[in-house]
């Protein structure tokens, strides 16, 4: 494989694992820059009161914590993907929080640690030496840093996780909830094959990039769909470095009479496949575009086939961005971006990152002057109905491995993404998802015990 082909393949995997590539203001922006002129800043967010506030802190209770500041790390692959949303969110959140007084008077000083996709371990080791915790980030190959993070007892409040060894690992509090043992899309899958498109259940197809990450996702999805009553009529992989002609794939999907198609890969590839499907006159009942396609980029790329192909995805209980005006918390995120990073795009990973930052700040604020890793981690784990101030459906963070109950489904239209007709029963969400626990062996998250540690070692 030529070097440039290898790079292209890695980009495709990175975009799938850690969010689709969208431009923004840049992860190298100063996250502690002074706030622009404007209305007075308060530390309230959504229905959360005084997340950030003034105080009179003193002492150095933990690594990365002084009387003036808390040093934090943010994992990102921006140097490889050019995707700046975690850095953008870091800038926005810390600028707002610090303008409101910080965490009980301590300013948040965040450093984006660019793993460039292949340097996760190096960045985690740097964070181990300097940071109090990792907050609001993620990397496509995040499993590479888990062992070192646990060995140095570094807490993690990620925006998103990619690999099973990292998802739900020790000292981690993931603001989206859902354990690695459960199918987080159980409600969505049930809706697809039993309620909305029952005729599709007899012929579901799976196609994804030929990479370790997507192969695991594909295997889990196959098991989950079968458990939901679907029959898998077609399975295939495509080279993650790209496909010059999608016709053979489209013809295979047509010949197998696939009625529901799950796609795991980058949305550029999906848009090309859908164009060929449209050209040959074949339309499945539905296509699961996966959440990486959620945003204006896919709508633009797939414009020629959106009227013909029925693209759907599950946001896993995060409020849709296109309806921000109807939800005070989501609108507040949009407004804060307009104030502190006006050139950056608000994306779904950015919203998840903001929720992670809120979780950390709220937990740290409850510790008062004594900001220690044990206190902050345990405070975050006490959240039994976390919503990020209203950014998402409530999730129980007190248990490390539980199923999601709420989901919300989006549909791609020529005018943009819009909520599908999925019959929500709690505001923007539907909260009747069945709990499906995987039976296959897909690996497990690493724990403190795996590195010879326990919570008694955490200070």
Upper half-sphere CA count for residue 130 (Cβ side, 13 Å): 15
Domains of the chain by range and CATH?
Answer: 3-181+333-399+444-457 (3.40.50.2300), 186-319+403-419 (3.40.50.2300)
Has this prediction a pTM greater than 0.95? no
Closest-CA residue to 9 (of 209, 204, 151): 209
* b/e burial code for range 230-243 (CB count within 10 A of at least 16 → b): bebbbeebbbbbbb
Quick one: which of 387, 365, 345 has its CA closest to 92?
Answer: 345
Distances in Å between the Cα of 411 and the Cα atoms of 203, 298, 324, 458 are 21, 12, 16, 45
pLDDT in tens, 125-135: 999 999 999 99
| Cβ atoms within 10 Å, residue 103 | 31
Residue 16, pLDDT score? 52
Q: What is the pLDDT along the chain (459 residues), one digit of tens a residue?
A: 333 333 334 444 454 544 433 434 444 444 444 445 556 789 999 999 999 999 999 999 999 999 999 999 999 999 998 999 999 999 999 999 999 999 999 999 999 999 999 999 999 999 999 999 999 999 999 999 999 999 999 999 999 999 999 999 999 999 998 789 999 999 999 999 999 999 999 999 999 998 888 889 999 999 999 999 999 999 999 998 889 999 999 999 999 999 999 999 999 999 999 999 999 999 999 999 999 999 999 999 999 999 999 999 999 999 999 999 999 999 999 999 999 999 999 999 999 999 999 999 999 999 999 999 999 999 999 999 999 999 999 999 998 799 999 999 999 999 999 999 999 999 999 999 999 999 999 999 999 999 999 999 999
Q: What is the reported pLDDT for 36?
A: 55
DSSP annotation of 260: E
Quick one: pLDDT at residue 214?
Answer: 86
Please report the pLDDT score of residue 377 as a whole number. Answer: 98
Q: Which residue has the tokens 């943009």?
A: 416
Q: Taking the CA atoms of 348, 349, 352 and 357 in sequence, report the sign of the dihedral they define.
A: negative
């Amino acid at each position: 494989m030529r070097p440039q082909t290898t790079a292209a393949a890695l980009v495709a995997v990175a975009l799938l694992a850690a969010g689709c590539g969208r431009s923004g203001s840049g992860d190298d922006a100063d996250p502690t820059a002074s706030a622009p002129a404007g209305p007075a800043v308060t530390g309230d967010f959504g229905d959360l009161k005084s997340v950030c506030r003034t105080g009179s802190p003193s002492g150095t209770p933990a690594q990365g914590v002084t009387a003036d500041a808390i040093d934090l790390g943010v994992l990102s692959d921006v140097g490889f993907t050019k995707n700046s949303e975690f850095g953008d969110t870091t800038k926005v959140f810390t600028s707002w929080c610090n303008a409101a007084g910080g965490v009980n008077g301590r300013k948040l000083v965040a450093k984006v640690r660019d793993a460039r996709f292949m340097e996760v371990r190096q960045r985690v080791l740097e964070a181990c030496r300097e940071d109090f915790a990792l907050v609001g980030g993620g990397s496509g190959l995040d499993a590479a840093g888990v062992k070192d993070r646990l060995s140095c007892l570094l807490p993690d409040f990620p925006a998103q996780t990619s690999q099973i060894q990292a998802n739900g690992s020790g000292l981690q509090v993931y603001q989206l909830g859902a354990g690695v043992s459960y199918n987080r899309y159980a409600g969505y899958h049930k809706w697809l094959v039993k309620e909305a498109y029952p005729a599709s259940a007899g012929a579901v197809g799976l196609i994804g990039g030929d990479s370790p990450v997507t192969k695991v996702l594909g295997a889990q999805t196959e098991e989950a769909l079968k458990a939901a009553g679907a029959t898998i009529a077609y399975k295939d992989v495509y080279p993650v470095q790209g496909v010059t002609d999608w016709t053979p794939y489209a013809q295979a999907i047509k010949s197998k009479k696939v009625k529901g198609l799950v796609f795991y890969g980058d949305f550029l590839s999906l848009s090309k496949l859908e164009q060929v499907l449209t050209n040959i006159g074949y339309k499945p009942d539905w296509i699961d575009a996966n959440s990486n396609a959620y945003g204006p980029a896919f709508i633009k790329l797939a414009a020629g086939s959106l009227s013909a192909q029925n693209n759907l995805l599950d946001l896993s209980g995060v409020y849709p961005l296109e309806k921000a005006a109807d939800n005070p918390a989501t609108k507040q995120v949009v407004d804060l971006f307009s104030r502190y990073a006006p050139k950056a795009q608000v994306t779904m990973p950015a919203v998840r990152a903001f929720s992670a930052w809120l979780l950390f700040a709220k937990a740290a604020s409850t510790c008062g002057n004594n900001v220690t890793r044990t206190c902050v981690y345990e405070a975050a784990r006490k959240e039994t109905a976390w919503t990020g101030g209203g950014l998402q459906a409530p999730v129980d963070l007190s248990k490390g491995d539980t199923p999601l109950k709420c989901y919300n489904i989006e549909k791609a239209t020529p005018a943009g993404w819009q909520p599908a007709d999925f019959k929500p029963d709690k505001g923007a969400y539907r909260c009747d998802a069945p709990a499906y626990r995987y039976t296959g062996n897909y690996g497990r998250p690493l724990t403190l015990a795996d590195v010879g540690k326990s919570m008694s070692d955490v200070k």
